[in-house]
Structure 1
Amino acid sequence: MPTRRSRVALFVAGLTAVALLLQLVYLSLLLGSDGRKGFEPGDEGRRPLSVPGKVSEQAALKDKLQLVSALASHEEPHGDGRHWIYRGIAGGSEVKDRAALDVTLTTHTSLDRLHELDSLLTRWGGPVSLALFCPGNASGLALWAISTLRACSSAVRDRVSFHLVYPARPSKLLPGDIGLFPGCDEAREGLTSLLRSHTGAAVSYDLGFAPYPNNLLRNVARTAGGRGRYVLPLDVDMIPSSGLRPALIDFLGRDSTRLSFGDRTVFVLPAFESRSRPGHEPGTKAELLRRVALGDARPFYSELCGKCQRPTDFDRWVRLPLRSTLGSSYDVPWRDPWEPFFLSPRSAPLFDERFQQYGFNRISQACELHVAGYRFAVLDEAFVVHKGFKMPGRFHASKDVEQEKNRELFRHFKAELKIRYPRSSRRC
């Protein structure tokens, strides 16, 4: 015979189940009504106008329900046996426009740095494919953040495709497991602090729950989302120069470009770092050069690894005459340990996913491109800027250990390239 305690437990469980059922019914009604509660057919013209970029609370709830459905249906265990991938969780993952003359900016981040997307998206002005890394127990938080960003920004809804990567299979979700839509004003003030309160303000790659698989994330962002024949892979805290996407499309569409450069060319964007106030990073080359002269900007990694960017030949780039249109002024050969930022065709080799955490993750891809016969052409009016100066001593405690581990992996990687490209005379 059931005890009093067991009867109470059953009663509480029943109430919980009823509450979840009612919430699912409510959300389903919202989904079926397309967010039009309170309006009769023909009343659309009398609705109050929404603030540009925002959506109604009902539409936000509908989007949340669709995100939960996508998480349940897009599950894909990765071949390494350690990660779970969910491509096109929002924003779509269509590939029908991959032949178009366009450029997708691909990027990656963990939850605590998702707020960086705003300034990146504003400066870029085109399609963005973002791979988000988070622990399995933060699935609800990840979908809450994505749905909030989509609800409050038409740019996010229209131009960003999201893909989730987990270090372990995430738990199944119900719509009720995702936090309530906070409203855009509240989200603007509190999204960053709320995410950090749940995930911690991580220092570099020190996430605490799993190694950061930067190259896996870069590959997911490139293969799963966006449009166009070209991709620009950037870290989420790197900002491109102003008007870069239309300038690139114009440059790539010229007959002279097609005649001068083949399919095995990547276009290098000189990389700088700036200590400007957030949102005020230099946008034009003239402005960048002024900041450099004032000491407020400098070549990327100047203090940490000057040789990692030196082959770009900043002195030569600075002396180029300013132009009104984008072009490519000179080529540079790859030299170890160069790790340039560049525009590449989608057909270029992917990043090697064995490289995780700090060290050699971008160098390895540039090395392979060199061995595979790719040409490195430096763009004259384009550049990228890192937010803030990179300084020694501001990295996580395990940085040096990770770098040595990846240095050894890089030695094996270079030996493998000799087998992968037996006809190439190039070596790293």
Structure 2
Amino acid sequence: MFTPTMKTVMFDEQYCLGYNFLRSQKPFREDGLEPVTLTTHGTSGIIEEIEKKSTSWDGPISFALFIDYHSHRALEYIADVHRCNKKFQEKVSVQIAFRISPYQMFCQPIQYPKSLRSCEDFIRNQKQYQREIDAPFQLYPFNIMRNLARKGAQSDLHLLMDADMITSDGFATKVKKISNEMITGKKMNALVIRRFETNKKLIPRDNIQLEAAFDNKT
């Protein structure tokens, strides 16, 4: 039986990169504006954070996933998330990167995993399947992963963000309008956002909550 594969390309004679292993299904252009793609990256240990972002970010997401031989189960897992989670499927595109073996002369294609489990089974046992994924045992190429997420984005406007950052409510919609006004074919600008850190589990999601956190010095 034929197994679909994704072509990968070599980069810097050390890595193989694959674009759009999984592709987002929703264009987010109903209002005539170019959407802002949230671009981020990480290993299998950060997939759960990307799942959370698919519920809080109202726009496309490009996630670059770094794997190796030990973490190959991450491909099957994230493919199941994409298949069984509607919001994840609508919003998230996944790019893949892995380091080549010594003396490897070319990049081999990646086989798309064919899951034998139903969505009902996957959702019911998702935590268990998540624990079965081993993290990669290699140095993490930050710059390569950041650029991979950006180049695989499904729009021309990108917000580069670490996976552990949490945006305020409605941020994607607000920054979309502002970015389309600031960045055009004739004007090239960079939009810088503020980042706040907290020691509390409750993350401020609007100005009122943020002001209260400042008052409480949290």
Q: Deviations over 1:391-413 (max 9, x none)?
A: xxxxxxxxxxxxxxxxxxxxxxx
Normalising to structure 2: TM-score of the pair? 0.80
Task: Provide the residue aligned with 2:103 in structure 1.
Answer: none
Residues 258 and 166 of structure 1: CA distance in aligned 2, closer, same or farther (over 3 Å): closer
Count of aligned pairs: 205
Residues 248 and 171 of structure 1: CA distance in aligned 2, closer, same or farther (over 3 Å): closer
Task: Provide the residue aligned with 1:162 in structure 2.
Answer: 94
Structure with the larger helix share? 1
Task: Provide the residue aligned with 2:143 in structure 1.
Answer: 215
1:276 correspondence with 2:200: yes
**Residue type of the alignment partner of 2:143:** N
Task: Provide the residue aligned with 1:126 in structure 2.
Answer: 59
Aligned ranges for residues 33-72 of structure 1 at < 5 Å? 69=4, 72=5
1:74 correspondence with 2:7: yes
Task: Provide the residue aligned with 2:125 in structure 1.
Answer: 186
Unaligned runs of 5+ in 1: 1-23, 29-67, 200-206, 297-428
Q: 2:44 aligns with which of 111, 115, 127?
A: 111
Q: Is the 8 A contact 1:274 1:281 kept in 2?
A: yes
Task: Provide the residue aligned with 1:266 in structure 2.
Answer: 190
Q: Deviations over 1:212-262 (max 9, x none)?
A: 1111111111111222x31101111111111011111222345xx579xx7
Task: Provide the residue aligned with 2:34 in structure 1.
Answer: 101
Q: Deviations over 1:47-83 (max 9, x none)?
A: xxxxxxxxxxxxxxxxxxxxx62xx3322111x1000
Normalising to structure 1: TM-score of the pair? 0.43
1:144 correspondence with 2:56: no
Return structure 1 stretches of 4+ with deviation > 3 angstroms.
Answer: 169-176, 178-182
Residues 282 and 77 of structure 1: CA distance in aligned 2, closer, same or farther (over 3 Å): same
Q: Is the 8 A contact 2:44 2:71 kept in 1?
A: no
Q: How far apart, CA to CA, are the structure 2 residues paired with 1:246 and 1:160? A: 17
Instruction: Report the Cα offset of residue 172 of structure 1.
Output: 6.4
Compare CA radii of gyration and give the structure with the larger one: 1
Q: How far apart, CA to CA, are the structure 1 residues paired with 2:70 and 2:75? A: 12
Instruction: Report the Cα offset of residue 90 of structure 1.
Output: 0.9
Task: Provide the residue aligned with 2:157 in structure 1.
Answer: 230
Q: How far apart, CA to CA, are the structure 1 residues paired with 2:183 and 2:8? A: 40
Q: Is the 8 A contact 2:168 2:204 kept in 1?
A: yes
Task: Specify the SS of the correspondent of 1:183.
Answer: helix
